[in-house]
Structure 1
Amino acid sequence: MGKSQQKKRQTRRHNPMRVPDSHLEKGLAAASESSRKNEAILPIIQKMESVDPTERKWACVAVSNLIQNDPSTRRLLQGKNVVGALITRLSDSEEEVVVEAAGALRNLCIDGGFDICAEMYNKNILAPLKTFIPKISTTLSQYLASPKSAPENAQKLIYEFADNVITILWCLSETSNKAMNAINQIGLIPFLMSFLGSRENLPISTVTSAAQCLYVLTDENPSAINELRADAAYTACLLSIVRPSESAPAVNGKDKEKAIERALALRVLCCGILRNISPIPPPSVAATVDLDRDVVLPTLEPVLSSISLPEMSRKAQELVEKEEFVPQLEKLSLKHTPKSDHRSESELELERLEQRLRTVQSALEILTGLCATLPDPTIPSDGPETAGDEDADDDMDAEDDEDATPDEENVLPSGSSTPAYFESLVYPLLGLIQPTPLSFPPLAGTSPHPPTTSALSAIHISALECLNNIFLSMATAAARHKLDIDVQNGYKLWHEIWRALGIVGTEISGAGQERRRDMWELAVGVLWGIGNIWKGSLPLENEQVDVLIQFCNATSDPLVKVKCIGTLECLAQHPQSIDGNRVISQYLLSLLPPTSSIPTEPLLQAASALIDVYSDETLPYDINFRQGRYLDALVASVEGVRKAVKSIDRKKERDLRIRGEEVKDNLVAFIEYRRNLRL
């Protein structure tokens, strides 16, 4: 299996966009045809420039309310330069207008995504934002030093304003490397860490936003990573949040439940920050801890089992049925000034439900990287192997065995050949990949509640990414140490992946169905990993083979084709499935030249697969090779394979060229071997 298939890190920064536009109906064309919306929006833009501060505030709040989950109105506003108008209001003479403008820009960032964030950056939103940082810091310091020095509503205002500014910076930092570099110049780390350091005296929501911003800033960003690493107080603070020693505050009822949930979200994010900046150097206390084993896994594993996705989906549907959530344009007027923080009970509950789902999603994102480096199931992960390791292993006596590291004890339960993380990690992940009725937009129309749908589908995707890395790591370890892992686990895993795909369905090409397609593309990688571990043991089902072949033909992504071919190769090696082996092998032969013109990487995978499947002529299904005259077909493909390999650029695709040369040489040698058998 190619190493390139194992995803140790996200190749793109975490997307702050709450709901992709494809999950929602009514695009720009449909919105432009609506004169009612156009007429209603114009006064809002005009009032943004009013001499009356009340009207300016009203306009900012109106924008904030109207854009939520409504891309058509959002795009109409964007066409009227609402972004530029709101950025101008950040320098308004009235404090409340500035606060509401920041709130509207925050909502635009979250609901609008990368395009609007890029527009904000290009229109120099960082200029006013930079001026807010020292002002917020000074005001917070005064409040913390003397809590009774300001009325409660003034404190609430500054906390919410800080939350809005931090969230905008978080979203902007995910827009592009250019934006990230500009934000690095602001020097946000001390500002953000001050919130975490004073967390006991600040609203948990604001502290969590600061942690979310830090999580993003430390994602493969050396400037922020080095600054956090260099301060032992910072890393000690992060560790103390993940492993709190103080008792929880005395809170009862719903408030207690909400406080516990938000505290968990904060701990999850701090786990992610610690992983982003590891290894942490001395003298920090965090340098003395095995972060993955002693901090990250114990914190995040329980999160995976903390919710039931079917139950969350059911609750969301019940809440949605209670009332209508889309703000009505015609109801907006100065006499009925909307409130940016107004939410009905159902809306607040839905928001809380979404936050719980996002906490699970964050935990999965962090685990994705860790799952790529899980310790081998039979050996302690106490350092790289050396040339003499194998000989040393042979000489180990019983006394040496007693000194096994905790890693070894945690990985394999006594008397079992199944890694311990099957129970704590793999099986909970299997539960998180199973779609619910709200997991994807309907094939026609939109989701009843797009934010919940977006969060659920993101969880399924992230859980599959974790499984993908786990099984690729396990396949490597199983091959290296000749492990014999309980085949019943293989059956269960295989069945659960296909059960999830059955719910996803095969209609994955329409607008808004991108997540269904993502599920298939990731699931095939997981199937390949499972197939490699239990190669030859998984029963071959004709319907599954047909679906994999159809998907391989339909996808335009060469790497997805490679995954499909790799999975088929594993299935073809079930000794008793002679008919299934014939179907798969004939398909693989059809991918070879001169009859095919598929991309080079899947071509190489198909050639390599046929060599592996028929490397043992004593297996029952080898009759297909002989009766089908596969040797002649392979001989005819050699020249085409040679040309394909030669076309690989040595400088741009060095690893692929090396693999291509290896496959070509193996093909020639395999043909010679089969000829000499004279079967």
Structure 2
Amino acid sequence: MGKSQKKRSQRRYNPVRVLDSYIPKGLASAASSSSKNEAILPIIQKMQSADGAERKWACVAVSNLIQNDASTRRLLQGKDIVGYLITRLSDSEEEVWIEAAGALRNLCIDGGHEICAEMFNKNILAPLKTFVPKMSTILSQFLGSPKTAPEMFQKVVYEFAENVITIFWCLSETSNKALSAINQMNLTAFLMSFLASRDQLPIATATAAAQCLYVLTDDNQPTIDEIRSNVAYSSCLLDIARSGGTTNGKGENSAEGPSVMFKILVAGILRNISPLPPPSTTSAADIDKTIVLPLLEPVLSSVNLLEAISFAQDAVTRESSEPQIGNLSSKHMPKSDHKTPDQFELDRLENKLRIVLLTLEVLTGTCAMLPDPVNLLVDGNNEIIDDDSQDETMDDGPDVQIADVPAPQSSFHPNFLPSLVPPLLALIHPTPLSFPPSGGLSVHPPMTFALGSIHICALECLNNVFLSLGATPNPTLVADKESGRKVWEDIWITLRAVGTDIGPGQETKQDMWDIAVGVLWGVGNIWKGSLVPCEDQVKVLTQLCDTSEDPKIRVKCIGTLECLAQYPDTLDANRSIAEYLLSIISTPATPFPAGTEPLIQALSAIVDIYSDESMPYDVNFRQGQYADRLVASLDSVIKVVRGVDKQKDSDLRLRGEEVRDNLIAFIDYRRKLSL
């Protein structure tokens, strides 16, 4: 049962990305589902026009056409729009390559990894590389003599820099090959210059640089080493995280303003590069305690998802239909800033959701890296306190794999149970806009994508929190059974709202199920024996275990069932769960249909459930002759464990050998009892 880690594939702060898996593949299907077919050919033609104004128009039109429209984006992609736009980056007209960069930036975000991979394969880095020294020179000129350039010109340059940096950011998480190529460009000094000059720059430009650095420092040693080797860089990052972010007045310092996102990104960078090198004495624990958690906790509570989507639905209803493409011409250039008050308000809500999503991602990493709590106590006010003298009286619980993240050497134990769990639980409950309709498009795709991502990240945070708490349970926490039942029920309320009817384009629902069952296991492990096994919940867990193709999901289901089986006063539920686990163990076929890892977990579960013969439900073990059934399967179990390749999966082999030995000792112990 491992802790959730940050995932590159989910780092999409801009909510423009529209899930399009429900759209059939191929140009014909894209053409049939797009309402803008007639606009495609003029764009392609004007992209190659001898008239610079028409080439500029074509670049701008691409951005307008693809907004929240996966079908049209695919249609344009099939016409090699990426190749045309990359060519335009070397255009003789300055305005053309500026608009081309903006269109490519939007395609990166809208199309995700697929389109980013296409850009990389078509060598987009070659023209982009030439822009870096030019932007550095212009930036130095602006900062040295800000009055020498008109404000409008500065605005264009800063927006262009933001677009180019965003492309670097998106490409960096496309593949290791793309990341390696960007590493070779040595962008750290270039990006850090924007952070160092944050007070004189638009907040959006500085934030783009911070986003790119956040990605480049995520388990990417070259950039980490480069920042850590320069004291000025780490000092700059610490100054930003400890201050109000920007002071130029161009940013918004409210709980949902761009300065908040900027600071959260910088806090994430600091976590990525920690521990900071000398002469800094700031440890990873200090960063979490003094910077990360104080910054993140208020953000989690700053949004009410139901209120946000209620307004969003009203605003969408009030909005008129989208502008007609026929109105676009080279004389009437499409402008992205012509928005209604409702559109501006929707943008504000989306931005707030993006900030919450980023907060959850950084928090997930923080919780994954927290040292496993040792000797934690909860006082009368539900505040966690340290007590190093407290005796260890709890058993070790199920033998689960929780050591995949090394625990830093630190005495820092944050009060994250009372302070983080309630707002995290509030963020996992689906709203009417959380999922698109099966095979269709949400009424507001960006909002839907952001909401679904928030639910998933909140569940990942809860997974890590309860794993950390469950590593070394303490009597006071375990005794708070009401809190355990509330969390347990909140998770199930969420899962019932998600449902099991998962259609095309609704992959977020399946992701929520897969992560939530891990949270259930974490909660069950802490409050084992206190959670009443509901028949419907047991049925759902067994069905998920049977239908999932992922052995890790099956392991989580089995672990959760194991916890439920240890409720002392429900003999029928205990028998039902035990029979199910034995059905996994007793299958004569080899390899076991359920998979080796689930088999090992089922064996461990049976041993753990019936390790105490004084429990009321032990009668099921005796009457069902479970010892004989375990003996009958022992030879097959030994063969399966022996069949695990030590070279390919040494951890599973060791785990299997340990459970095998425990099983043999358990059978011998039960036989000697003569019950």
**Same fold per TM (> 0.5)?**
yes
Q: 1:93 to 1:249 in 2, by over 3 A?
A: closer
Q: Distance in 2 between matches of 1:593 and 1:394?
A: 42
Q: Distance in 2 between matches of 1:101 and 1:323?
A: 29
Q: 1:581 to 1:36 in 2, by over 3 A?
A: closer
Q: 1:439 to 1:362 in 2, by over 3 A?
A: same
Which of the residues 481, 489, 493 maps onto 2:483? 489
Counterpart amino acid of 2:464?
N
Once the two structures are superposed, the pairs formed by residues 224-373 of structure 1 within 5 Å of their partners are: 224-244=223-243, 256=252, 261-284=257-280, 286=282, 290-324=286-320, 326=322, 328-373=324-369
Q: 1:22 to 1:250 in 2, by over 3 A?
A: closer
Q: 1:259 to 1:530 in 2, by over 3 A?
A: closer
Once the two structures are superposed, the pairs formed by residues 468-617 of structure 1 within 5 Å of their partners are: 468-478=463-473, 484-508=478-502, 510-595=503-588, 597-617=593-613
Does the Cα contact within 8 Å between 2:34 and 2:72 map onto a contact in 1? no
Does the Cα contact within 8 Å between 1:16 and 1:174 map onto a contact in 2? no
Q: Distance in 1 between matches of 2:453 and 2:168?
A: 22
Does the Cα contact within 8 Å between 1:106 and 1:168 map onto a contact in 2? yes
Does the Cα contact within 8 Å between 1:374 and 1:473 map onto a contact in 2? yes
Counterpart amino acid of 2:663?
L
Partner of 1:200: 199
Does the Cα contact within 8 Å between 2:18 and 2:69 map onto a contact in 1? no
TM-score (norm 2): 0.90
Counterpart amino acid of 2:579?
Q
Q: 1:620 to 1:437 in 2, by over 3 A?
A: same
Q: Distance in 2 between matches of 1:197 and 1:366?
A: 22
Q: 1:540 to 1:394 in 2, by over 3 A?
A: closer
Residue aligned with 2:585, SS: coil
Q: Deviation per CA, 1:504-529, whole angstroms, max 9, x where unpaired?
A: 11113x21111100101100000000
Partner of 1:448: 443
Q: 1:90 to 1:39 in 2, by over 3 A?
A: same
Q: 1:36 to 1:231 in 2, by over 3 A?
A: closer
Q: 1:665 to 1:247 in 2, by over 3 A?
A: closer
Counterpart amino acid of 1:499?
I
Residue aligned with 2:473, SS: helix
Q: Deviation per CA, 1:428-479, whole angstroms, max 9, x where unpaired?
A: 1111111111111123532111111111111111111111111111111217
Q: Distance in 2 between matches of 1:259 and 1:427?
A: 19
- 1:19 Cα deviation after fit: 2.2
Q: 1:373 to 1:82 in 2, by over 3 A?
A: closer
Q: Distance in 2 between matches of 1:531 and 1:342?
A: 52
Q: 1:216 to 1:247 in 2, by over 3 A?
A: closer
Partner of 1:387: none
Counterpart amino acid of 2:261?
A
Q: 1:256 to 1:177 in 2, by over 3 A?
A: closer
Counterpart amino acid of 2:625?
R
- 1:12 Cα deviation after fit: 5.2
Q: 1:529 to 1:188 in 2, by over 3 A?
A: same
Q: Distance in 1 between matches of 2:428 and 2:373?
A: 24
Residue aligned with 2:472, SS: helix
Gaps of 5+ in 1: 382-391, 396-406, 412-419
Does the Cα contact within 8 Å between 1:13 and 1:174 map onto a contact in 2? no
Say if 2:654 is the partner of 1:636.
no
Does the Cα contact within 8 Å between 2:586 and 2:629 map onto a contact in 1? no
Q: Which moved more, 1:134-143 or 1:438-447?
A: 438-447
Counterpart amino acid of 1:10?
K
Partner of 2:84: 85
Once the two structures are superposed, the pairs formed by residues 356-505 of structure 1 within 5 Å of their partners are: 356-375=352-371, 377=373, 379=375, 411=414, 420-443=415-438, 445-478=440-473, 484-505=478-499
Partner of 1:56: 55
Residue aligned with 2:20, SS: helix
Residue aligned with 1:618, SS: coil
Q: Distance in 1 between matches of 2:670 and 2:120?
A: 63
Does the Cα contact within 8 Å between 2:428 and 2:456 map onto a contact in 1? yes
Q: Deviation per CA, 1:527-549, whole angstroms, max 9, x where unpaired?
A: 00011111111111111111111
Counterpart amino acid of 1:232?
V
Once the two structures are superposed, the pairs formed by residues 112-191 of structure 1 within 5 Å of their partners are: 112-191=111-190
Q: 1:667 to 1:410 in 2, by over 3 A?
A: closer
Counterpart amino acid of 1:593?
S
What is the root-mean-square deviation of aligned Cα atoms in Å? 2.5
Q: Which moved more, 1:595-604 or 1:256-265?
A: 256-265
Say if 2:3 is the partner of 1:10.
no
The aligned length equals 642
Does the Cα contact within 8 Å between 2:22 and 2:439 map onto a contact in 1? no
Q: Distance in 2 between matches of 1:35 and 1:170?
A: 29
Q: Deviation per CA, 1:35-87, whole angstroms, max 9, x where unpaired?
A: 97444311211111111111000110111110112121111111111111101
Q: Deviation per CA, 1:188-220, whole angstroms, max 9, x where unpaired?
A: 111111111111111101111110000001011
Q: Distance in 2 between matches of 1:83 and 1:374?
A: 43
Does the Cα contact within 8 Å between 2:373 and 2:468 map onto a contact in 1? no
Does the Cα contact within 8 Å between 1:86 and 1:101 map onto a contact in 2? yes
Q: Deviation per CA, 1:365-424, whole angstroms, max 9, x where unpaired?
A: 11112112435555489xxxxxxxxxx9599xxxxxxxxxxx97965xxxxxxxx32221
Which of the residues 4, 22, 28 maps onto 2:20? 22
TM-score (norm 1): 0.90
Counterpart amino acid of 2:351?
Q
Q: Distance in 2 between matches of 1:454 and 1:105?
A: 21
Partner of 1:663: 659
Q: Distance in 2 between matches of 1:325 and 1:186?
A: 44
Counterpart amino acid of 1:671?
I
Q: 1:48 to 1:475 in 2, by over 3 A?
A: same
Q: 1:247 to 1:119 in 2, by over 3 A?
A: closer
